[in-house]
Amino acid sequence: MQPSTGTLRPLGLDEVRLTGGFWGDRQARNAAATIPHAYEWQRRAGWLDNFRQAAAGGVTARRGREFSDSEAYKLAEAMVWEIARGADAPYRELVEVLVAAQEPDGYLNTMFGRPGQAPRYSALDWGHELYCAGFLIQAGVARLRTGVADALVAAAIRAADHVCAEFGAAGRQAVCGHPEIEMALVELYRATGTGRYLDQAQLFVDRRGQATLPDLELGRSYYQDDVPVRDRAAFAGHAVRALYLACGAVDVAVETGDDKLLAAIVRQWERTVAARTYLTGGMGSRHEGESFGEDFELPPDRAYAETCAGVASVMLSWRLLLATGEPRFADLAERTLFNVVAAGPSLDGRAFFYTNPLQQRAPGSPPDPRVPNPRATAGERVPWFDVSCCPNNIARLLASLGGYLATRDDRGLQLHQYAAGRIRAGGIELGVVTEYPWRGAVTVRVHAAPQRPWRLSLRVPAWAGEATLVTPEQTRPVSPGYAVVDRFWRPGDEVRLELPVAPRWTEPDPRIDAVRGTVAVERGPLVYCAESVDQRTAQALDAPAVDPSVPVVERRMPALGPEVVALGVAASTLAPAHAGWPYGSTGPAVAEATELVLVPYHLWANRGPATMRVWLPERRR
């Protein structure tokens, strides 16, 4: 993301390097395990062979769903970021296969337009042609941003030119059933300066909500074609579609100076965060249509909360942060990164969650490791899905995560997310030393600085209440928002932010009926959950009742990692008062006092089938 204007300017991916720690380790695992894993599965599932068949002139045995092309592009983008850091990945091999399938006029999709296939753009509602083109374009933009204009970049530009020719002002008055192309075109405009890509993105945003797509059982709200983008009250319909569209709308608004459109998306974001978002940051509660529910319709056990919706929410928060400079967007990005994005891959980086419920009532069954999983719902991560958007989206986000940590403006540098690493930008060189989120101390060391005063801003998350900032001059309390230090920095200067990461109890809004009377435990940016494998009995999570008046204790959990902090909370187990009919006039009896062990939500389901819950019923006083 490189907007040409905005309150804050992003840093380049070459200006930030993660070095170990929570996110650095995950990025390294992504490069070493997830990217090769995804490449192997795409080969094995025949999704890359679709491109080979197309290049040979006909696709007679296409495999995979209509959007499988997009997975190859997402993976190519992930590889782009990694090889730019010097990692090894089969990027050339992959790109050679992809670009060979492009038609002379720039069209590139293995599902349509050849003998025996449906004509191009004959199924805009479900065909995902522009969606796939969008990911191709984004992969090309990524490559351009690493300073290389190769065959992938040329293919992306040809694809974009083709889209503009087909869908321009004088072309088809239509949109794709799955938004995505909008932000891709704006990004290509930013990377190349070619204005028609921005014009086309604007056309797509303005055309959405004009009922150009057919009605369907789920209603046109499913693909946001029921209401014009700027007239909507909250994000609705298919969550990933809604969030990708919002990203594209922000991009268009920023580049065209359309403050009303930007304000509309901010308003929709506010309502969505206030009433349609899980404690984890997960978005989209309904399995039906993978969609947002009504306000406060946030059941923990039926949460859909697709991993891709988490990725998309981080992308949207980032755009809104750059546009406005407001810390609330970085706060939500942090919550979503630690509790949805980090929950996506398994500890070995070779299995993934698609949905992210906050309660698992029955232990999942181990997936068949040889075949793609046909279901999006599982109590366990699986190696691959028939619909594998989430693993590839995670791969490209983790590979580019350094870009989401810090920004610049005319006054100095801002740190929004805390990760061990090094930043070199505009003559400033900083080292960030931290064991966040396990420990709350973040030390920023200045290694090089320009010969003039500048401002270092450190985000204090809303959850922190009050934190402490130690500068070379003083130690002072700082409140949520940005703690700023204006001074003449010299190499060797240090600032330390101390965030209070003690465990805290969190209560839901009473309008979220599904979890009224329960509490959850958070520690720093992490949401915790109770997983059955840690409890004294397998039934301990069926009817627990916790006592928040007893202090939460911290424990080690070496099985999940030497750095991991687990928690213990005082609880009772309730015994049902009735058998054979789960209702009656007398309440349950207290069966036994116990302690519930809690682990970070993002680490659950790494130790075999288990039940799990985030929200814990509170014992009635």
Tell me which residue has tokens 């679709």: 50
> What is the C-alpha to C-alpha distance for residues 251 and 205, in angstroms, rounded to an integer?
10
Burial class of residue 259 (count of CB atoms within 10 Å of its CB; 0-12, 13-18, 19+): exposed
Output the smallest distance, CB 181 to Zn ion, in A: 17
The residue range among 222-230, 381-389, 486-494, 521-529 that interacts with Zn ion, by the rule CB under 5 A, is 381-389
DSSP string, 126-171: T--HHHHHHHHHHHHHHHHHTT---HHHHHHHHHHHHHHHHHSTTS
The residue range among 95-103, 256-264, 300-308, 482-490 that interacts with Zn ion, by the rule CB under 5 A, is 300-308
| Exposure class string for 537-573: b at 16+ Cβ within 10 A, else e | eeebbeebbbebeeebeeeebeebbeebbbbbbbbbb
The residue range among 285-293, 308-316, 446-454, 516-524 that interacts with Zn ion, by the rule CB under 5 A, is 308-316
Output the smallest distance, CB 600 to Zn ion, in A: 22
> What is the C-alpha to C-alpha distance for residues 479 and 458, in angstroms, rounded to an integer?
11
The residue range among 207-215, 306-314, 337-345, 445-453 that interacts with Zn ion, by the rule CB under 5 A, is 306-314
For residue 292, give the amino acid letter.
F
Q: Which of residues 580-619 bind Zn ion (CB under 5 A)?
A: none
Q: Provide the β-strand partners of residue 545.
A: 572
For residue 283, how many C-alpha atoms fall within 13 Å in the half-sphere facing its CB?
32
Output the smallest distance, CB 553 to Zn ion, in A: 37
Output the smallest distance, CB 385 to Zn ion, in A: 8
Q: Kindly tell me which of 155 and 181 has the beta carbon lying closer to Zn ion.
A: 181
Q: Kindly tell me which of 293 and 391 has the beta carbon lying closer to Zn ion.
A: 391
Angle of CA points 148, 153, 157, to nearest 5°: 140
> What is the C-alpha to C-alpha distance for residues 543 and 539, in angstroms, rounded to an integer?
8
For residue 389, state whether it binds Zn ion (rule: CB under 5 A).
Answer: yes
208 phi and psi angles, rounded to 5 deg? -65, 140
Output the smallest distance, CB 315 to Zn ion, in A: 13
Q: Kindly tell me which of 83 and 308 has the beta carbon lying closer to Zn ion.
A: 308
Q: Kindly tell me which of 121 and 354 has the beta carbon lying closer to Zn ion.
A: 354
Total residue count of the chain as it appears in this document:
621
- What spatial distance separates the first Cα and last Cα of the chain, rounded to whole Å? 51
Output the smallest distance, CB 378 to Zn ion, in A: 13
Output the smallest distance, CB 610 to Zn ion, in A: 23
Q: Kindly tell me which of 395 and 415 has the beta carbon lying closer to Zn ion.
A: 395
Q: Kindly tell me which of 308 and 314 has the beta carbon lying closer to Zn ion.
A: 308
The residue range among 17-25, 390-398, 548-556, 585-593 that interacts with Zn ion, by the rule CB under 5 A, is 390-398
The residue range among 125-133, 216-224, 305-313, 590-598 that interacts with Zn ion, by the rule CB under 5 A, is 305-313
For residue 308, state whether it binds Zn ion (rule: CB under 5 A).
Answer: yes
Output the smallest distance, CB 393 to Zn ion, in A: 6
Output the smallest distance, CB 520 to Zn ion, in A: 25
Q: Which residue is nearest to Zn ion (CB)?
A: 308
The residue range among 140-148, 287-295, 357-365, 384-392 that interacts with Zn ion, by the rule CB under 5 A, is 384-392
Q: Kindly tell me which of 308 and 610 has the beta carbon lying closer to Zn ion.
A: 308
Q: Kindly tell me which of 142 and 308 has the beta carbon lying closer to Zn ion.
A: 308
The residue range among 382-390, 408-416, 554-562, 582-590 that interacts with Zn ion, by the rule CB under 5 A, is 382-390
Counting residues that bind Zn ion (by CB under 5 A) gives 3
Q: Kindly tell me which of 308 and 423 has the beta carbon lying closer to Zn ion.
A: 308
For residue 163, state whether it binds Zn ion (rule: CB under 5 A).
Answer: no
Q: Kindly tell me which of 183 and 444 has the beta carbon lying closer to Zn ion.
A: 183
- Name 86's Cβ contacts closer than 8 Å, sequence gap at least 6: none
Q: Kindly tell me which of 284 and 299 has the beta carbon lying closer to Zn ion.
A: 284
- Name 339's Cβ contacts closer than 8 Å, sequence gap at least 6: 279, 280, 281, 282, 525, 526, 527, 601, 602
Q: Which of residues 84-143 bind Zn ion (CB under 5 A)?
A: none
* Closest among 219, 184, 529, 483 to 356, alpha carbons compared: 529
Output the smallest distance, CB 245 to Zn ion, in A: 16
- Name 411's Cβ contacts closer than 8 Å, sequence gap at least 6: 454, 455, 486
The residue range among 78-86, 105-113, 385-393, 571-579 that interacts with Zn ion, by the rule CB under 5 A, is 385-393
> What is the C-alpha to C-alpha distance for residues 218 and 291, in angstroms, rounded to an integer?
10
The residue range among 202-210, 257-265, 301-309, 559-567 that interacts with Zn ion, by the rule CB under 5 A, is 301-309
For residue 397, state whether it binds Zn ion (rule: CB under 5 A).
Answer: no
> What is the C-alpha to C-alpha distance for residues 328 and 533, in angstroms, rounded to an integer?
35
Q: Kindly tell me which of 341 and 557 has the beta carbon lying closer to Zn ion.
A: 341
Helix (H, G, I), strand (E, B) or coil at 87: coil
Output the smallest distance, CB 127 to Zn ion, in A: 18
Q: Kindly tell me which of 70 and 468 has the beta carbon lying closer to Zn ion.
A: 70
Output the smallest distance, CB 42 to Zn ion, in A: 15
Q: Kindly tell me which of 79 and 389 has the beta carbon lying closer to Zn ion.
A: 389
Helix (H, G, I), strand (E, B) or coil at 290: helix
For residue 228, how many C-alpha atoms fall within 13 Å in the half-sphere facing its CB?
9
Q: Provide the β-strand partners of residue 504.
A: 522
Q: Kindly tell me which of 240 and 430 has the beta carbon lying closer to Zn ion.
A: 240
Q: Which of residues 401-440 bind Zn ion (CB under 5 A)?
A: none
**Do the Cβ atoms of 564 and 531 come closer than 8 Å?**
no
* Closest among 423, 424, 444, 446 to 433, alpha carbons compared: 444
Output the smallest distance, CB 205 to Zn ion, in A: 22
The residue range among 307-315, 415-423, 535-543, 560-568 that interacts with Zn ion, by the rule CB under 5 A, is 307-315
Output the smallest distance, CB 526 to Zn ion, in A: 23
Output the smallest distance, CB 308 to Zn ion, in A: 3
For residue 247, state whether it binds Zn ion (rule: CB under 5 A).
Answer: no
**Do the Cβ atoms of 244 and 183 come closer than 8 Å?**
yes
Whole-number Cα distances in Å, 201 to 105, 143, 593: 20, 21, 59
For residue 390, state whether it binds Zn ion (rule: CB under 5 A).
Answer: yes
Task: Give the pair of three-digit tokens for residue 491.
Answer: 């190499």
Task: Give the pair of three-digit tokens for residue 483.
Answer: 């703690």
Output the smallest distance, CB 47 to Zn ion, in A: 15
Q: Kindly tell me which of 67 and 269 has the beta carbon lying closer to Zn ion.
A: 67
> What is the C-alpha to C-alpha distance for residues 32 and 609, in angstroms, rounded to an integer?
26
Under the rule (CB under 5 A), what is the footprint of Zn ion? 308, 389-390
